[in-house]
């Protein structure tokens, strides 16, 4: 696999930031886009644009077909049973909100319990908090250990007869922990509890097989998987999508509308009200093709090599502390430098065109647990190289110099 060749497919890397070549280490936040995705968007708007599903004319028929082709690609990409199990949303956040809202409306009563973990992103906590407010649900947090791994035994102990759903991330956006979700799903299913997996971080970094996991719900953000913004995916087992009430109401999601009654459309349209991000969904097909052209196994091994290389190099820099040491770790490295606040780190690194993120990364529960207010985070994508890590380490040395650290 030739990374330089892959990198050359991303136009942004021909740009200079502060006069220097961009070292983009913020892919956990959002990935850069390959030219094929950008061209597809451009071409669709220039030559093929029409709204989908509503008109008889040729453009609309073509757009509808293209939209559907992406759905079929996603189904294959995550190994779902049928394309009706793939719902397009705005992002993973909306996917989780959709389930929290509809599942909660139907299945959560006062005192019922929702089990999440201390690793969760705010997007897999806040939607459940709404049910705490509106229904009087109880939210429990499965604890993590000092390494950043969920303590499965403790999670198991927190399951009670009142537990109605478990929601857990597949990959932490702070510690890079790869969570053994299959094990958690097995435990939950033995007690007939459905599981939602937040796959926002895992989709660009791991092989996703929803059939093998047997998860009930899986949420993905397209923009983190080399795709356009505005495309999210909700995978849900068909039985749930059939059983749960609709979410957003409006055009496209109805079957028949009368003054005294309304019936809803079949799947997947039941959950896709209003005009969707048509061009973006069409272009997202190119993102999947891009991922497949690399091969998920190649991608995993490249990112693992980068992560190990980075961890080894960071270990040798005085005063750098890497957050967490999980059993299985993906290309997400949060760190602190003793004596330098993460925001100062980010400003100084930016001077060398090294783009990292600083803050709590939408994980205040996790940061509180780690007794930190903020961390700096370098996260990798397929386009990163060992040279990027070398430049990162040099920029960190520069931080130490600016702050006169010994």
Partner 1 sequence: MDLKELYQDIILEHGKSPRNFGKCNGHNHTAKGYNPLCGDKVEVYLKLNNKKNVDEITFEGSGCAISMASTSIMTELVKGKSLEVAKKIIDEFLNMIKSGSAMKTKDLSEDQKTKIMSLSGVKQYPMRVKCATLSWHTLVSALDGNKIEINTEKED
> Active-site residues: which are they?
362
Query: Which of 68, 269, 344, 397 is the binder for partner 1 (CB under 8 A)?
Result: 344
Footprint on residues 272-311 left by partner 1 (CB under 8 A): none
> Given the rule CB under 8 A, which of 118-126, 142-150, 162-170, 338-346 is the region that contacts partner 1?
338-346
In angstroms, the Cα distances linking 183 to 150, 155, 273 are 12, 11, 35
Query: Which of 182, 304, 341, 369 is the binder for partner 1 (CB under 8 A)?
Result: 341
Which pair of structure tokens corresponds to residue 142?
Answer: 């499965």
Nearer to partner 1, 127 or 342 (CB): 342
Number of residues that bind partner 1 (CB under 8 A): 19
Strand order in the sheet with 86-89: 86-89, 232-236, 217-221, 195-198, 163-169, 113-117, 138-142
Query: Which of 340, 354, 370, 382 is the binder for partner 1 (CB under 8 A)?
Result: 340
358 interacts with partner 1 by CB under 8 A: yes
Footprint on residues 68-97 left by partner 1 (CB under 8 A): none
> Which residues lie closer than 8 Å to 190 by C-beta, 6 or more apart?
none
Nearer to partner 1, 291 or 366 (CB): 366
Query: Which of 305, 373, 386, 394 is the binder for partner 1 (CB under 8 A)?
Result: 373
Cβ count within 10 A of residue 119: 29
360 interacts with partner 1 by CB under 8 A: yes
Per DSSP, the three-state class of 177 is strand
The torsion of the CA quartet 40, 42, 44, 45, rounded to 10 degrees, works out to 160
Nearer to partner 1, 21 or 359 (CB): 359
Q: Report the distance separating Cα 55 and Cα 272, nearest Å.
A: 17
122 interacts with partner 1 by CB under 8 A: no
Reported as type and span, the H/E element at residue 155 is helix 152-158
374 interacts with partner 1 by CB under 8 A: yes
The minimum distance between CB 344 and partner 1, in angstroms, equals 5
354 interacts with partner 1 by CB under 8 A: no
The minimum distance between CB 340 and partner 1, in angstroms, equals 7
- Contact positions vs partner 1 (CB under 8 A): 339-344, 347-348, 351, 358-360, 364, 367, 373-374, 402-404
């Amino acid at each position: 696999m030739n990374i330089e060749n892959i990198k050359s497919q991303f136009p942004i890397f021909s740009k200079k930031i502060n006069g220097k070549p961009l070292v983009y280490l913020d892919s956990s936040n959002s990935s850069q886009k390959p030219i094929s995705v950008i061209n597809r968007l451009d071409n669709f708007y220039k030559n093929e644009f029409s709204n989908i599903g509503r008109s008889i004319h040729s453009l609309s028929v073509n757009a509808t077909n293209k939209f559907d082709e992406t759905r079929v690609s996603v189904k294959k990409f995550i190994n779902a049973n049928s394309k009706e199990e793939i719902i397009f949303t705005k992002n993973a956040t909306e996917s989780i909100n959709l389930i929290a809202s509809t599942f909660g409306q139907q299945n959560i009563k006062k005192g019922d319990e929702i089990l999440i973990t201390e690793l969760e992103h705010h997007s897999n906590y806040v939607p459940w908090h709404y049910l705490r407010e509106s229904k009087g649900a109880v939210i429990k947090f499965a604890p993590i250990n000092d390494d950043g791994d969920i303590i499965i035994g403790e999670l198991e102990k927190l399951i009670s007869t009142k537990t109605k759903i478990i929601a857990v991330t597949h990959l932490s956006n702070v510690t890079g922990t790869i969570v053994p979700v299959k094990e958690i799903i097995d435990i939950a299913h033995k007690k007939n509890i459905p599981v939602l997996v937040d796959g926002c971080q895992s989709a660009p970094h791991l092989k996703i097989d929803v059939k093998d996991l047997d998860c009930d719900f899986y949420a993905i953000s397209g923009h983190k998987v080399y795709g356009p913004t505005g495309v999210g995916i909700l995978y849900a087992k068909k039985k749930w999508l059939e059983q749960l009430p609709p979410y957003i109401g409006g055009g496209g999601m109805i079957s028949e509308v009368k003054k005294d009654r309304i019936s809803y459309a079949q799947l997947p349209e039941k959950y896709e009200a209003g005009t969707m991000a048509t061009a973006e969904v069409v272009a997202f097909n190119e993102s999947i093709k891009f991922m497949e052209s690399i091969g998920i196994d190649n991608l995993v091994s490249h990112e693992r090599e980068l992560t190990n290389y980075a961890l080894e190099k960071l270990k040798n820099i005085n005063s750098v502390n890497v957050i967490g040491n999980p059993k299985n770790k993906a290309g997400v490295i949060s760190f602190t430098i003793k004596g330098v606040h993460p925001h100062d780190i980010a400003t100084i690194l930016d001077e060398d065109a090294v783009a990292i993120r600083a803050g709590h990364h939408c994980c205040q529960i996790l940061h509180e647990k780690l007794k930190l207010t903020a961390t700096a985070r370098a996260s990798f994508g397929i386009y990163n190289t060992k040279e990027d890590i070398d430049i990162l380490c040099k920029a960190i040395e520069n931080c130490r110099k600016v702050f006169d650290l010994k």
